[in-house]
Amino acid sequence: MKGTEYDLSSHIHMEAGQMAEAASSTIAYNDVHAAYLMELAISIINNRNDVCLVMVKNDGIVPNLDPGMMLEAACRIGKEGIEPLHIGPVPAFEKGLLENQYACEKLLVDAVMEKSAQKLLQAFAVNRIICDTDRAKGIIQEFKKANGELWPDFL
């Protein structure tokens, strides 16, 4: 990644020997996620207050979405922690996509935690790839068969 927009060498302030070791790192220079995590860590260490995308609880970042929803949102990152930048309301199309995904994920987590067969079926049926109760039932049966004894009992 040296010489690209993902090159971290200009951001890392270390001794020459340490820099040589970091520069030879396969992970830090060939994996976008590793590079991103390095940017976050560097922003915290140097209190740069960079703006980065981070998964955070909505809590009013997008006022027309559920406050409990997790969002990947722009946040200022520094020694004081993560400060989400308020986005404001999202348009109807994006709101629909986000709420659908949230409902699917929340129902799935609730199904597992409550061992609820009904919520499991609802989670699969509301999934925008499945969108059909009969298809959802078939997929759940396939999962159950494939996982055998490892599949949890749902009531």
Phi then psi for residue 2, to 5 deg, are: -60, 135
As a whole-number percent, the residues of the chain with pLDDT over 90 amount to 62
> How many Å apart are CA 55 and CA 71, to the nearest integer?
5
% helix, strand, coil for the chain, step of 5? 50, 15, 35
Interval 76-93: pLDDT, tens:
999 998 999 998 999 999
Dist CA 127 CA 104 (whole Å): 6
Residue 104: closest CA among 129, 138, 79: 129
Which of 57, 53, 154 is closest to 107 using CA atoms?
154
Specify the 3-state DSSP secondary structure of 111.
helix
CA distance 43 to 112: 37
Alpha-carbon distance of 14 to 17, in angstroms, equals 8
Distances (CA, A) of 148 to 134, 137, 145: 21, 16, 5
Q: What is the pLDDT of residues 85-133, one digit of tens each?
A: 998 999 999 999 999 999 999 999 999 999 999 999 999 999 999 999 9
In sequence order, what are the beta bridge partners of 50? Answer: 77
